[in-house]
């Protein structure tokens, strides 16, 4: 896993957005897997601005939502697909049919997940991920099989409690549907975003701890093209080497 460290959130955001614009310019047909949440919101704001300014286009690209909470009302604004639409999708020139979201309310979740994997097809060109406090990727909690497909999952208590910030009520989701580790680990390129002191411990464990399903993020240390984007706070417990963002990552 390659590590990029930035001394401010502004530089962190600008670098990720700049590299993302480069990827789309080189490959306008980019197939992406994207999360919602608080970590990527500034990056999404910058990409939305870039799209409005004509600096980049999503017209030929495809976006798959990484996961979705289950057990919520269909119109709950805390659902990840609604959040991702507000944060990014609605501001892009992405054709409506090019955004794929998971539906936990479908009558046959197993079949729906199989169809989602079929739509992913040959795999993602770019998977953009956050990292959970316990190392989860999407909703692939510790212990998830390395070859896991898109599926329904039960959420760990720490994930449930962390989700509270997305909701204006106390009916927190206990399960969800997620793209599996198989597709994430098979992506041509994986970017993991982490910022803030709360992520410092799991970043250290991911970079220097044992590699295995007990910390799904650690599995990316074996990926040939995985990148960890850190601000100073997230890197505080395990200062990584600095990589020139205008060099190897291109």
Instruction: Name the DSSP class of 241.
Output: P
The yes-or-no answer on residue 112 being catalytic is no
The catalytic position among 82, 136, 156, 223 is 136
Report the distance separating Cα 223 and Cα 230, nearest Å.
18
Cα 80 → chain centroid: 11
The catalytic position among 134, 156, 189, 205 is 134
| Tokens found for residue 82 | 């609604």
The yes-or-no answer on residue 67 being catalytic is yes
Report the distance separating Cα 187 and Cα 21, nearest Å.
18
The yes-or-no answer on residue 215 being catalytic is no
The yes-or-no answer on residue 136 being catalytic is yes
Report the distance separating Cα 69 and Cα 1, nearest Å.
29
Strand runs labelled E in the chain? 2-6, 31-34, 62-65, 67-69, 99-100, 126-129, 151-154, 175-178, 190-194, 226-231
Report the distance separating Cα 214 and Cα 74, nearest Å.
32
Report the distance separating Cα 137 and Cα 181, nearest Å.
8
The CA-based angle 238-180-121, given to 5 degrees, is 120
The catalytic position among 42, 125, 141, 231 is 141
C-alpha distances in angstroms, 141 versus 135, 136, 161, 214, 215? Answer: 7, 5, 14, 8, 8
The catalytic position among 42, 67, 125, 189 is 67
Q: Which positions are annotated as active-site residues?
A: 67, 134, 136, 141
């Amino acid at each position: 896993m390659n590590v990029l460290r930035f001394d401010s959130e502004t530089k962190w955001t600008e670098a990720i957005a700049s590299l993302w614009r480069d990827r789309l310019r080189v490959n306008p047909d980019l197939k992406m897997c994207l999360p919602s949440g608080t970590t990527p919101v500034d990056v999404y704001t910058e990409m939305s601005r870039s799209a409005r300014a004509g600096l980049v286009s999503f017209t030929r690209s495809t976006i798959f939502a990484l996961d979705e909470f289950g057990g919520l009302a269909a119109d709950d604004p805390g659902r990840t697909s609604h959040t991702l639409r507000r944060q990014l999708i609605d501001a892009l020139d992405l054709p409506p049919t090019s955004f794929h979201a998971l539906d936990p309310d479908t009558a046959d979740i197993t079949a729906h997940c199989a169809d989602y994997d079929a739509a992913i097809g040959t795999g993602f060109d770019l998977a953009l991920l956050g990292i959970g406090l316990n190392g989860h990727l999407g909703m692939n909690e510790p212990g998830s099989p390395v070859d896991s497909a898109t599926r329904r999952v039960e959420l760990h208590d720490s994930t449930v409690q962390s989700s509270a910030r997305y909701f204006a009520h106390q009916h927190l989701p206990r399960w969800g549907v997620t793209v599996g580790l198989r597709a994430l680990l098979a992506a041509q390129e994986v970017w993991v975003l982490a910022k803030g002191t709360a992520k410092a411990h799991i970043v250290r464990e991911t970079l220097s701890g044992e590699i295995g399903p007990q910390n799904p993020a650690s599995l990316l240390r074996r990926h040939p093209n995985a990148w960890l984007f850190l601000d100073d706070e997230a890197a505080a417990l395990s200062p990584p080497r600095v990589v020139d963002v205008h060099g190897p990552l291109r």
